[in-house]
Structure 1
Amino acid sequence: MPLDVTNPGQIKSTVEKATSLFDVDVVLNNAGFGLLGALEAFTDENIVQQVNSNFLGTVRVTQAFISNFRENKKGLFINVTSIGGHTGFPFTSIYNGTKWAVEGWSECLSIELSLFNVGVKTVSPSSTNTELFSHNSDVAHLPFYEATEKKMISMIKPASTPDEIGSVIYEAATDGKDQLRYFAGKSAKAIYDRRQEIGAEASVKEIKKMYLEA
C-alpha cells in the first residue's frame, strides 16, 4: 500500500486499511534520507524536508497506529535512527539532529505506552550500503569546506550491509525484551561505547581532532 510519511491524509487512510486487513503487531519506522553538507549551505527547503521525513514522518505514522495497539493492549514500534542520533559529526547537523530527536522522542514514548503493554525500541545503524545520501546533490558544497568534507566522506564509507542491519531489526522485533536501544552495523556499538567510556565532552573533543585537525 502507498505510504508517503510526509502526507498525513495518506498515512491515515493506509493505516486504517492495514489495520482492517491485518492484525498488525509491529510497526517499523524506517523512512528517511540524509543530506551531507555545511549548515550554511542548506536551504530552508533542505532543512524542512529532512525534519519532515526523518522525524515528523516517524511521529505521524506512530501516532496513527497507537489507538489500535492500545485497544489490543499489545504492539511494538521499532524506530530506525542512527549512530548519528547518539553523537555528533561534522556536515551532518540536520540529519543527526533529526535522529537525536527520534531517540529522545522514542525514549519518552516508551515510558508513556508501557501503560498499555505497547513497546517502543530504536535501532541505530552505523554507515550502511544504502541510498541514504542519494539526494546529496541537493545541497551546495562550499569551497572553503571542501577538503574537510572529503575527509569526512572518506571516513564514513559504507561498512555494513542492509542484511546486517535487518538482522538486528528482526532481533528487536522478536526477542521479547524490555530493551529500548539496539545498535547495528560494524561500528555503531563501538562508537557509542567510546562516548559512554570517556563522556560526552571528551568525545566531542576527540571527534573534532579526528575530523577537523590537519
Structure 2
Amino acid sequence: MNPTVLITGASTGFGRATATLFAARGWNVVATMRDPGAGAALATLPNVLVVRLDVQDRASIDAAVATGIERFGAIDAVVNNAGFGLFGIFEAASREKIQEQFDVNVFGVMDVTRAVLPHFRARRRGTFVNVSSGAGVFGLPMISLYNASKFALEGFSESLSYELASQGIVVKIVEPGGVLDTGFSARSTDEFGQATIPEGYETFVANAAKIFEGLRANRLATSDDVAGVIYEAVTDGTNRLRYVATEDIKPLVKARRETSEDEYMAFMRRQFGG
C-alpha cells in the first residue's frame, strides 16, 4: 500500500504545495483545512482526500484523523503546517489575539499530535514534521508573539523527539523564512493594520518597517521549495531534527547558532537600535 500523509493548513501556501508534491510522488494525502471548499483543486488529484480540520476545534481534529485512517487504512506521517503570524508592537496586542496566536501555532499542533499518537504508537512508527520558522530560531521586533509561539513549538518538538524515539516515532522541524507566493505576509499585514501604535513607538516602528522591507526583498524561495524540504524531512530515513528551508534566513540562523551571545546581541542591536 502507498504511504499516507496528513497535512494541516493545506488550502494555501506550504500546505497546498506539500499536498500536491506528496500526491505527485505517489502518496495518499489527507489534505485538511478549515474550509474544505478551498481544496476543490486538490480534491481532483489522485489519492487526495480533502477533509475539514480546524486546529482550534478538537472534535474536527479527531474526526479528520479517523476519516483519513478509514479511507487509507493508516497514517504514516503528519505535517503540522497550519499557522499564522501576528505583526506589531506587543503592547498594542489584545489578550484575545495573543490567545489565538498560541491556540493555532502551539496548542493546535499539540492537539493534532495527541490525536495521531495512539495510532503511531500502535504501529511503532510514524513521522511528525512541524513547520516552524526562522522566527523560531532568532527573535525580531514587531513579531514578538509569533516569535514566542514558534520558540514554544521548537522547544516542544525537540523535547517530544526524545520521548517518541522510544516508540519508534520521529519528530522533525522545518524552518522556512520568507517566500514569494503565500498569503502569510498579507494576513500579518492585515493584522498589523488593525492594531494601534502606542505613543512613543512611531520612530521605532518606521525604522523597523524599513528593515523588514529589506528582508522581504531578499525572499527568493517559493512554497514549492519549502514543500521539497518537507518531503525530504519525511522521507530521508534519518532522525535529523532541524531543516532550514530557505536561503534568506541562513545568515541569521548561522549568527544565532554559531557566534557568541555577546557578538550576536551586538549585531542585532545595531540593526534595530538599543
Q: Output the TM-score relative to the length of structure 1.
A: 0.93
Question: Within 5 A, what are the aligned runs for 1:38-77?
Answer: 38-77=89-128
Gaps of 5+ in 1: none
Match of 1:193 among 246, 250, 254: 254
Displacement, 1:67?
Answer: 0.4
2:71 equivalent to 1:21: yes
Change (3 A) 1:85 1:200: farther
Match of 2:190 among 134, 137, 159: 137
Q: Deviations over 1:40-79 (max 9, x none)?
A: 1111121111111111111110110000000001100000
Could you tell me whether the CA contact under 8 Å between 1:31 and 1:53 is conserved in 2? yes
Displacement, 1:161?
Answer: 0.9
Q: Deviations over 1:111-131 (max 9, x none)?
A: 101111100000001112211
Task: Report the AA paired with residue 122 of structure 1.
Answer: I
Task: Report the AA paired with residue 183 of structure 2.
Answer: E
Question: Within 5 A, what are the aligned runs for 1:21-170?
Answer: 21-22=71-72, 23-129=74-180, 130-135=182-187, 136-139=189-192, 140-142=195-197, 144=202, 145-157=204-216, 158-170=219-231
**1-structure distance, mates of 2:231, 2:165:** 21
**2-structure distance, mates of 1:65, 1:52:** 18
**1-structure distance, mates of 2:222, 2:61:** 29
Task: Report the AA paired with residue 215 of structure 2.
Answer: I
**1-structure distance, mates of 2:118, 2:262:** 40
Q: Deviations over 1:125-176 (max 9, x none)?
A: 1112211133332331426243123223213313321111111111111110
Q: Deviations over 1:83-111 (max 9, x none)?
A: 11011111110001100001000011101
Range that drifts further, 88-97 or 131-140: 131-140
**2-structure distance, mates of 1:153, 1:160:** 17
**2-structure distance, mates of 1:205, 1:47:** 29
**1-structure distance, mates of 2:110, 2:215:** 28
Give the 3-state SS of the residue equivalent to 1:208 in structure 2: helix
Could you tell me whether the CA contact under 8 Å between 2:208 and 2:272 is conserved in 1? no
Which structure is richer in relative contact order (CA contacts within 8 A, separation 6 or more)? 1
Q: Which runs of 4+ in 1 moved over 3 A?
A: none
Map of 1:10 onto structure 2? 60
Map of 1:176 onto structure 2? 237
RMSD: 1.5
Displacement, 1:189?
Answer: 2.8
**2-structure distance, mates of 1:138, 1:52:** 16
Displacement, 1:37?
Answer: 0.5
Q: Output the TM-score relative to the length of structure 2.
A: 0.74
Change (3 A) 1:200 1:64: farther
Map of 2:23 onto structure 1? none
Give the 3-state SS of the residue equivalent to 1:61 in structure 2: helix
Gaps of 5+ in 2: 1-50
Change (3 A) 1:112 1:93: same
Give the 3-state SS of the residue equivalent to 1:116 in structure 2: coil
